[in-house]
Amino acid sequence: MSETSHIPYIAMVEKAFDLSKAAKEYTKNAGKAVDHIDILENIFLPSGDVDLERTSKEGGTPLMKVFFTNPYGLEFKPDVGNWIPFRHGPINLDLD
């Protein structure tokens, strides 16, 4: 497998963490209660990474999971009050 064809899984996870931080900052700076749909529309969707169809079907009501078009997503964890990255799809670490 060539260097250019390697899928950057670490970069995908880092982007998920960046979106999680952005959601936390957005909520902190809002000065009001912010629901998960507001975060989806203003933080997650503009990233261009959201699988909106899957998120709509499997994200829950209220929204608790956001699926990305790559193997990762974010899940809201009420116990920590934050969106935490999770893996929902297969990854291929075979470098042959």
pTM, two decimals, is 0.84
- How far apart CA 59 and CA 96 sit, in angstroms, is 35
Largest Cα span, the chain: 51
Question: What does pLDDT average to in each consecutive run of 10 residues of the chain (96 residues)?
Answer: 58 94 96 94 97 97 96 96 90 62
Domain boundaries along the sequence of the chain: 3-87
The answer to whether the bond into 90 is cis (omega within 30° of 0) is no
| pLDDT for residue 9 | 83
Q: Give the Cα separation of 63 and 13 in Å (integer).
A: 20
User: What are the φ/ψ torsions at residue 93 (nearest 5 degrees)?
Assistant: -95, 5
Find, among 23, 24, 88, 91, the residue nearest to 59 by Cα.
88
Give the torsion sign (CA, 34, 30, 54, 84).
negative
The one-letter code for the residue type at 31 is: G
User: Contact, 69 vs 89, CB < 8 A?
Assistant: no
